[in-house]
Each structure stands twice: as structure tokens, then as C-alpha cells.
């Protein structure tokens, strides 16, 4: 457990390789996977298949963007899956007043839950895993309390079009996720908030001494994560034309964390890679799709995913300088 290293002659090469892998590995893997998939199956590049993939990746990406921000502050948000379930349970209640209001209410729920989690992390200084874990358990319970155990069909045209319409041949959901990704990238790179977020993740104590509004930033980050997850929940309801809190959003926290980690954002905070997260989400979506299309059982798909997560985390924490 000592930080000793055996400086061999290949140390520098290995360090550079690690750094390259961390920086560009996900893009390379995505390209390779894409080529392999296209070669194996000519129908992979068909418009229909691409659309399906985009529909499926959009909600995951939305959640992953919020997760990337949280992980950037050296935290993690395990409540996002439950947040989707909560959104799914709320939407049918208000869909009678029109889709925009229903979505808005879901977003408000997301913001409030995020604020609760953020407050626990920022003010009570509870570890993020634990704070969001208790939210995860609680919110799913609340969702099922609101909705009951059975799935409810949703027929509102506005919601349905949110979930299945397209624009310029690309699903609306993908457009929204794309816009969110661009906004998140701008937020991280260009705004005071974004830079403060990263600084807090890198060294919370130093940030506090530098007069940064640490608590406010932390709460806001969890609120953003909650809102994005709630939005994803509304999209999932619209896409599936039903609200099923018992099943929607299950394991979403895992998928989102995977996308973020595969995308090269370190779990130790201090860095947010938005483009990498997009690539990570696409990569995980494609690998599942390719395996499924080639009749690999979901069981093996899950095992492969688990292995990828482990590898990605391992690669991301291998510091080139060590």
C-alpha cells in the first residue's frame, strides 16, 4: 500500500499510453465498435436502426450529463433511477393539464429531490453515496405510493410526440439530449459556476478558503442532476406511452455512472468531460445493441457491461505520473 513505484525503462511510455488512453480511449473504442458493428451487420447503419439507438441513448445521456457534474464535485448521485420513477409517477397525475405542465411538475419534483440530496451533502456533510442512497430507496417508494404497482398508459399527444417524434430525421429526444450536452459543456467550460464546480471537486477545502460558495454550488449540482433525471423520466414515459415507476429507471444510476466513467471523467472529481460522457453513453448503448442484435443473451451482455465498467474505472484512475 506504499506509493512506491518501480521506475522501469518503460515507465514514461506507459505513462504516456495511459494518458492517451484516458484522453482518447473512449472515442477510439467508439469508432472501432461502430466499424465492427457495421461490418458484421449491414443493416446496422440503416436509418431505422440508428433512430432506435438514438431513442434509447437519449435518456441515458441526459442522466449521465447530470451525473458527470456530480462526479466532477467528487460526489455521486445514486438517486437518478428512482428520480425517473418518481417523474414517471407524477406525469400521469398532471398530464390532464397538458404535457408542458406535467413535464414541468416532474422537473420541479426533480429539483426538490435534488435539493434534498444536495443539502444533505453540502450542509450536513453526509457522504454523497449515502445521502443519495437513502434518496434512492425513499424516492422509489414515494413513486410507487403515488402510482401504485401497475403501469398506467399515457395517451397525451404532447407527451407521445416528445417521446417518438423526430425533427430532420433525428428523434426529438436526441435533439433535446444533444442540446443539453452542448449547454452542459458550455456550463462547465465557460461559466463561473462550472469552473467553481470543478475546483470544488479538485480541492474542496482550498475552494472554501478561496471564498467560493461551496455549499451553493454543491446543492445546485444535485438539483441539476435531479432535474435532468426527471426530464429523462418524462421522455421515457412519452416514448413508452406508459408510466411504470416499478420498472422505469431501474439500474439507470449504474448506466449513467458507466457512461461518465467510460467517458474518462475520474471518480475522484476535479474534472468533467462532457464530450467524453456523450461518447461513453453512445458506446455503452452500441455495445448492448450489437450484442443483442447478434443474439447474445442479456445475461452475457450484463457480464460484459460489468467488465467494461471495471476496466474503465481502472484505466481512469491509473495516473500517468505515478
Partner 1 sequence: MSPSALRPAPLPAGPAPDAAQPAALRARLASHIQRRGALAVLVLMVAIASATSDTFPTWSNISSILGNNAFVWLLALGMTFVILTGGIDLSVGSLYALGGVLGAYGAHTGGTWLAIVLPLAVGAVWGSVQGLLVSRAGMAPFIVTLAGLLGARGLLQALTDEGATTYLVPPGSAFRHLGAGTWTPVLIVVALFALGALLLTRTRFGATVTALGGNENAATLMGLPVARTKVLVYVLSATLAATAGALGSARLGSGVTTIGVGYELTAIASVVIGGTLLTGGSGSIGGTASGVLVLAVIHNLIDHYFSQYGSAFTDTVNGAFLAVVVLAQTLLSRTRQTD
Partner 2 sequence: MVQQDPAPRSDWIVEVAGVDKSFAGVHALRGVDFRLRPGEVHALIGENGAGKSTLIKVMTGVYRPDAGRIRFAGEDRAFRNPLEAQAAGISTIYQEVNLVPLMSVARNLCLGREPRRFGLVDVRAMNRLAAEALKRYGVDVDVTRPLGSLGLGAQQMVALARAVQIDARVVVMDEPTSSLEPREVETLFSVIRDLKRQGIAVVYVSHRLDELYAICDRVTVMRDGAVVHTGEMAGLERLRLISLMLGREMSTVRAKGATAFGGEHERREGVPALRATGLTVRHRVHGVDVDIHRGEVVGLGGLLGAGRSETAKAITGALATDGGAVEVEGTELARRSPAAAIKAGVVMLAEDRKTEGILPNLSVRENISLALLPRLARAGVVSQAKQDEVVRFFMERLRIKASGPDQKVSDLSGGNQQKVLLARWLCLDPKVLLLDEPTRGIDVGAKAEVQALIDELAEQGLGVLLISSDLEELIEGSDRIVVLKDGRAVGHLEGDDVSEQAVLDTLATADPADGAEPTGDDAQASEDAGSAVRAEAAVPTEATEATEPTEPTEAVGDEHPQDRSRSAGHAVTKEEPR
Contact footprint for partner 1 (CB under 8 A): 1-2, 76, 120, 124-127, 129-131, 133-145, 149, 251, 254, 257, 261, 267, 297-303, 305-307, 309-310, 313-314, 317
287 to each of 53, 182, 223, how far by Cα in Å? Answer: 11, 24, 31
Closest to partner 2 by CB, 8 or 48: 8
277 vs 178: CA distance, rounded Å = 12
Selection from partner 1, partner 2, none that 157 binds (CB < 5 to 8 A by kind) is none
Selection from partner 1, partner 2, none that 125 binds (CB < 5 to 8 A by kind) is partner 1
258 vs 279: CA distance, rounded Å = 11
**Residue 304 near residue 54 (C-beta atoms within 8 A):** no
Selection from partner 2, partner 1, none that 310 binds (CB < 5 to 8 A by kind) is partner 1
**Residue 140 near residue 133 (C-beta atoms within 8 A):** no
243: left (phi over 0), alpha (psi -120 to 50) or beta: beta
- Joined together, the cell numbers standing for residue 307 give 467488465
Scanning 164-172, 188-196, 218-226, 240-248 for contacts with partner 2 by CB under 8 A, the matching segment is 188-196
Selection from partner 2, partner 1, none that 298 binds (CB < 5 to 8 A by kind) is partner 1
Q: What is the DSSP string of 135-164?
A: HHHHHHHHHHHHH-SS-EE---HHHHHHHH
Q: List the interface residues with partner 2, window 227-286 (CB under 8 A).
A: 270-271
Of residues 42, 149, 157, 205, which one binds partner 2 by CB under 8 A? 205
By CB under 8 A, name the binding residues for partner 2.
2, 4-5, 7, 11, 190-193, 195-196, 198-199, 202-203, 205-213, 270-271, 321
Amino acid at each position: 500500500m506504499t506509493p512506491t513505484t518501480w521506475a522501469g525503462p518503460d515507465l514514461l511510455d506507459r505513462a504516456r499510453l495511459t494518458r492517451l488512453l484516458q484522453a482518447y480511449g473512449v472515442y477510439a473504442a467508439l469508432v472501432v465498435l461502430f466499424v465492427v458493428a457495421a461490418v458484421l451487420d449491414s443493416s446496422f447503419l440503416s436509418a431505422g436502426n440508428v433512430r432506435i439507438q438514438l431513442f434509447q441513448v437519449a435518456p441515458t445521456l441526459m442522466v449521465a450529463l447530470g451525473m458527470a457534474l456530480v462526479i466532477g464535485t467528487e460526489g455521486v448521485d445514486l438517486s437518478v433511477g428512482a428520480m425517473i420513477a418518481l417523474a414517471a409517477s407524477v406525469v400521469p397525475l398532471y398530464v390532464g393539464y397538458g404535457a408542458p405542465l406535467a413535464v414541468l411538475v416532474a422537473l420541479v419534483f426533480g429539483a426538490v429531490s435534488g435539493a434534498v440530496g444536495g443539502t444533505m451533502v453540502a450542509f450536513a456533510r453526509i457522504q454523497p453515496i449515502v445521502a443519495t442512497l437513502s434518496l434512492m430507496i425513499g424516492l422509489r417508494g414515494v413513486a410507487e405510493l403515488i402510482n401504485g404497482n401497475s403501469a398506467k398508459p399515457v395517451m397525451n399527444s404532447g407527451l407521445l410526440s416528445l417521446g417518438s417524434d423526430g425533427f430532420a430525421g433525428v428523434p426529438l429526444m436526441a435533439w433535446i439530449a444533444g442540446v443539453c450536452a452542448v449547454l452542459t459543456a458550455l456550463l462547465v467550460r465557460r461559466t463561473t459556476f462550472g469552473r467553481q464546480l470543478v475546483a470544488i471537486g479538485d480541492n474542496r477545502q482550498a475552494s472554501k478558503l478561496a471564498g467560493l460558495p461551496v455549499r451553493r454550488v454543491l446543492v445546485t449540482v444535485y438539483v441539476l442532476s435531479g432535474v435532468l433525471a426527471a426530464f429523462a423520466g418524462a421522455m421515457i414515459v412519452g416514448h413508452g406511452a406508459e408510466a411504470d415507476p416499478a420498472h422505469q429507471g431501474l439500474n439507470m444510476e449504474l448506466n449513467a455512472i458507466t457512461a461518465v466513467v467510460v467517458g474518462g471523467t475520474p471518480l475522484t472529481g476535479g474534472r468533467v468531460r462532457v464530450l467524453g460522457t456523450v461518447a461513453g453513453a453512445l458506446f455503452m448503448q452500441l455495445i448492448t445493441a450489437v450484442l443483442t442484435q447478434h443474439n447474445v443473451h442479456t445475461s452475457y451482455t450484463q457480464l460484459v457491461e460489468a467488465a467494461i465498467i471495471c476496466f474503465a474505472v481502472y484505466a481512469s484512475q491509473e495516473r500517468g505520473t505515478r
